[in-house]
Amino acid sequence: MTIQSSFLIRCSLSASGGITPGKAYYIQHVQTGAEFRSAALTEVTEWVAGQNLRYLSEVIRTESAPPEDVR
């Protein structure tokens, strides 16, 4: 099974072309709406990896659940 996940990533830049201080990166997981802000790319990649694992486990849990009785 292959599950794909999408992210919206924004990076705030200063007028001089450098990254603005503070929380320069804003990331949103498209499927769940979860959001994260950080100034460090290492934190961004860790958060993205964590969201992918959470989303994958949720999809697997949902698909393995017994079907609801619809009447």
Q: What is the pLDDT of residues 18-28, one digit of tens each?
A: 666 667 899 99
Q: Could you tell me which residue, 20 or 53, shows the higher pLDDT?
A: 53
The answer to whether residue 33 is domain-embedded is: yes
Which is nearest to 24 in space by CA: 10, 34, 42, 8? 10
Average pLDDT over the chain, rounded to an integer:
84
> Residue 21: its pLDDT value, please?
66
The answer to whether residue 49 is domain-embedded is: yes
Going from the C-alpha of 33 to that of each of 14, 40, 49, the distances in angstroms are 27, 21, 15
> Residue 62: its pLDDT value, please?
84
The answer to whether residue 70 is domain-embedded is: no
The answer to whether residue 14 is domain-embedded is: yes
The answer to whether residue 21 is domain-embedded is: yes
Q: Is the pTM of this model over 0.95?
A: no
Q: Helix (H, G, I), strand (E, B), or coil: what is residue 27?
A: strand
The answer to whether residue 69 is domain-embedded is: no
DSSP state of 12: -
Q: Helix (H, G, I), strand (E, B), or coil: what is residue 31?
A: coil
The answer to whether residue 26 is domain-embedded is: yes
The answer to whether residue 28 is domain-embedded is: yes
Host domain of residue 18:
7-64
Would you state the structure tokens that stand for residue 66, as one six-digit string?
A: 């017994």
**Count of domains observed in the chain:** 1
> Residue 11: its pLDDT value, please?
87
